[in-house]
Amino acid sequence: MIEISAPLYVGDVVEMRKPHPCGGKQWEIVRVGADIGLVCQTCKRRVLLPRRDFARGVKRFIRRGAAAESDA
């Protein structure tokens, strides 16, 4: 399993390895917990992924949320 070294924050925008059926690869994190809530930036569809599936599917961070900048 891939470990995400950076903590996750609401407002982070990530790129996933597989595209959404609408063609979008960029997702905004809207919920952090046992499941990760994501909103597709192309069609605004909301999905929940188990943390393990999210860790396997994430490719890179596009933009960090406001909470990440205040922790730095």
pTM of the model: 0.84
Q: Tell me, yes or no, whether 28 lies in a domain.
A: yes
Report the candidate in 20, 34, 28, 31 with the shortest Cα–Cα distance to residue 64. Answer: 28
Residue 1: predicted pLDDT? 42
- For 6-65, what is each residue's pLDDT tens digit? 789 999 999 999 999 999 999 999 999 999 999 999 999 999 999 999 999 999 999 998
Distance of alpha carbon 7 from alpha carbon 40, whole angstroms? 20
Residue 18: predicted pLDDT? 94
Give the tokens for residue 45.
């569809």
Contacts of 54 (CB under 8 A, 6+ apart): 36, 38
For the chain, what is the domain count?
Answer: 1
Residue span of the structural domain in which 61 resides: 13-71
46-50/13-16 β-pairing? unpaired
Q: Tell me, yes or no, whether 1 lies in a domain.
A: no
Give the tokens for residue 26.
């960029």
